[in-house]
Amino acid sequence: MIELIAYIFLGIGGACALIGAMGILRFPDVYNRLHANTVVVVGGVIMTLLGAGLVAGLSVYSLKTLLIAVFLFLTNPVGAHAIARAAHKSGVKLWPRSVVDKLEEEEKR
């Protein structure tokens, strides 16, 4: 039973990683691609880690996978935020068909 759940987790993880990679290729600009990046990290990597932890059972290894998942949870949003903020500050334009940019309006004011 636990093994079945673990394989479902691994399957979801693999699918999310693949779809996220497609998103990184398809989306038009930095900011949209970062959304696809989040799909890869949360859906892909963390689900894979949890699945691997379940396969290993309660041991040092599953503790490690859990810890790695926690650290990814803490560091990924910081990294994504830093990339997006740096991109906007250095003047990377939004996709031309984007509907609104309140931050740019705010900075011009």
Interface positions with other proteins (CB under 8 A): 16, 19-20, 22-23, 26-27, 29, 31-32, 34-36, 38-39, 42-43, 60-61, 63-64, 67-68, 73-74, 76-78, 80-81, 84-85, 88, 94-95, 98-104, 106
Give the residue from 19, 24, 17, 64 showing the smallest Cα distance to 42.
17
Nearer to other proteins, 102 or 108 (CB): 102
| Per-residue tokens: 70 | 């926690």
CB-facing half-sphere around the CA of 34: CA atoms within 13 A = 16
Nearer to other proteins, 7 or 95 (CB): 95
